[in-house]
Amino acid sequence: MFSETLIELLKKDPKICVLTGAGVSAESGVPTFRGKEGIWKKFRAEELATVDAFLSNPELVLAWYQHRRDIIDNIEPNPGHYALAKMEKHFSDFCLVTQNVDALHRKAGSEHVLEVHGNIMRNKCLTCGKPVNRLDFKEGDDIPRCECGGMIRPDVVWFGEMLPADVFAEANKKSFQCELFLSIGTSAIVYPAAGLPIAAKQRGAYLVEINVQETELSTYADEVLLGPSGEILPKLLMAAGIDI
Ligand code: BV8
Ligand code: ZN
């Protein structure tokens, strides 16, 4: 299942950078974005995850995020999340970058998580950017407002918005320096995050993709491991002699 190259590399305590997407949370019950059961099946991403969508229909956008928070509140990390938390402790130079906004990596024990698309459990004021804690929005509620009068929105990166500069700069740096890059559970089509595995490969990293199906990245990867990340990651650690 795993190449000798990958197992030998893992045994050398390489610098590792990991990019995760919605696929790593799928086995926990979080619907992915673009799969058949994807949360975006009714709407296109651009109809919901944009500032324009929020300005034109804040109730719909807030209700959609509330729906996602309700799902996330009732689920647990899966063995894939736990394996990544174990890797963070085992390897001396390990960087976890996630596009996910579900906070499941932290819940599984990962301590340093680069959330390049934000976090659905955090909110902020659309006008002044003031951070606002938990926001529970029920249909019919007024749009929550900041003291400055601005509307409160989820602290996630919408399409057309910049990624948090400091977080993405660290992710970029780590992907340039790593010797092994794992792209896990992502369709690898949303930029600039999707550029990280490519940058790593261009600088000589060994690029491994873990997914249940091929993606745009597959032809570029040195190794494609087809299967659910919750099954593959624990097996990979065991094959490398890392107790999980
Ligand atoms: C930016 C947060 C510019 C919110 C998200 C045209 C119009 C507008 C923009 C663009 C355009 N063309 C290009 C762009 C840029 C755009 C972009 O890349 N669009 C794509 C769609 C073409 N990017 C942006 O807009 C970014 N900002 O470019 O700003 C700029 C520059 C300078 C100055 C100012 C501005 C912002 C991108 C961030 C958008 N926010 N989410 C929210 O969550 O609601 S994106 C959203 O997609 C999520 O974050 C998600 O993480 C991300 C990627 O999706 P995936 O995680 O990959 O999920 P997906 O369902 O696609 O795939 C799941 C995979 O898992 C599948 O491959 C599946 O096979 C696999 N899988 C399933 N089960 C398992 C599994 N794998 C393993 N195990 C399993 N069990
Ligand atoms: Zn404000």
pLDDT at 162: 96
Per-residue pLDDT at 46: 66
H or E segment at 184?
strand 180-184
Helix, strand or coil, per DSSP, at residue 230: helix
Q: How confident is the model at residue 48 (pLDDT cuts 50, 70, 90)?
A: confident
CA dist., res. 99 & res. 120, Å (int)? 11
Mean pLDDT taken over the chain: 93
Residue 45 has pLDDT above 90, yes or no: no
Q: Region 143-160: what's the mean pLDDT? A: 95
Cα-Cα-Cα-Cα dihedral sign, residues 192, 194, 197, 202: negative
244 or 131, which is more confident: 131
Place of tokens 């780590």: 174
Residue 34 or 21, more confident: 21
What are the residue ranges of CATH 3.30.1600.10 in the chain?
Answer: 31-74+119-156
Of 34, 159, 168, which is best to mutate to test ligand 1, by the most ligand atoms within 8 angstroms of its C-beta? 159
Residue 140 pLDDT level (bands cut at 50, 70, 90): confident
- Active-site residues, by number, are 117
Listed residue (2, 21, 15) closest to 180, CA to CA:
15
Who contacts 93 (Cβ-Cβ below 8 Å, separation ≥6)? 13, 14, 15, 16, 178
- For ligand 1, say whether the CB of 38 is within 6 Å of any of its atoms: yes
Phi, psi values for residue 97, rounded to 5°? -110, 130
Asked whether 17 and 95 are in contact (CB, 8 A), the reply is yes
Residue 244's pLDDT is what?
A: 78
Domain with CATH 3.40.50.1220 in the chain: 1-29+77-117+163-244
Class of domain 31-74+119-156: alpha beta
CATH superfamily of 1-29+77-117+163-244: TPP-binding domain (3.40.50.1220)
Beta-carbon-side half-sphere exposure of residue 135 (alpha carbons within 13 Å): 30
pLDDT of 222: 98
Predicted model pTM: 0.94
Could you list which residues have their CB under 5 Å from ion ligand 2?
Answer: 125, 127-128, 130, 146, 148, 150
The predicted pLDDT at position 64 comes to 87
Of 54, 123, 186, 196, the one to substitute when testing ligand 1's pocket (max ligand atoms within 8 A of C-beta) is: 186
Average of per-residue pLDDT across 96-106: 96
**Are 229 and 80 within 8 A, CB to CB?**
yes
Alpha helices in the chain (DSSP H): 4-10, 23-26, 45-48, 51-56, 58-73, 79-90, 104-107, 165-177, 195-202, 229-239
